Amino acid sequence: MGKGNRSTPEKQTLILWALLARDNAACFQNELKPEPDKADRGALEKAGLIKCERRGRYRRIWIEVTERGWAWATDHLNNDLPTGSPAGSSILQAWLTRLKAYMQARNVALAEVLGPQRARNDGSEGIAVGDATQTSDYDSLRARIRQAYFAVTGDRINTRARLCDIREKLNDIDRAALDDALKRMQREQQASLYPLDNKSEITDADRNAAIYFGGEPRHILWIER
């Protein structure tokens, strides 16, 4: 990980862990603890681990972990962290909360995660059957989301589509599954989810259909390609 003028690799790693614990690994800069400064953002962006943009009426800095950032984190879970950071305990709490949600959703025991790990000895390689099924399901759902988007926008890209209209087109899909797919599309930069900045435009349907990131509602789906 690169160095900034007032940043260190240890602090950059802690910032990345804090960001990964957020919904969809994204939030506004001032919601992160420790809060990144310009040097931290510059180092992480230069390394390709995050992307930043200004959003909303007040042009706040929005930060997202990139696919390269996810891959880096997977390979560097044992990297050194700042020893004196007061943010460490809250980040640990957030990660443990995520871990609990994962185990409950997949009926995994803690001992399976923290106990001694044995390599597979069947000689097989590649993606497990369950992973392949999940990938296939996601690809199918993503295609349906795109189809609904084009139905709402009249076959146009770079056009906003209200999530309430998208949900209406896909009302046979479980909401949690649809939300997960939409969030993954944003994480993989295949779509963007935005708020309606003009409060007078927001209807009850928009509120009910919103997806939340760090407590901020998103009402609009936008696809660029």
In angstroms, how far is CA 149 from the centroid of its own chain? 21
Backbone angles phi, psi at 81, to 5 degrees: -120, 160
Residue partners of 124: CB distance under 8 A and separation at least 6: none
Return averaged pLDDT per consecutive 10 residues of the chain, 225 residues in all: 63 91 89 90 92 88 90 84 82 88 78 67 41 61 90 89 94 89 88 87 92 85 88
Residue 223 burial (CB count, 10 A): 19
pLDDT at 70: 87
The whole-model pTM stands at: 0.51
Helix (H) or strand (E) holding 97: helix 88-106
3-class SS of residue 177: helix
**Partners of 60 in the β-ladder:** 55
pLDDT at 89: 87
Query: What is the DSSP pairing of strand 60-65 with strand 26-28?
Result: antiparallel
pLDDT at 61: 93
In angstroms, how far is CA 103 from the centroid of its own chain? 19
Contact 209, 149 (CB under 8 A): no
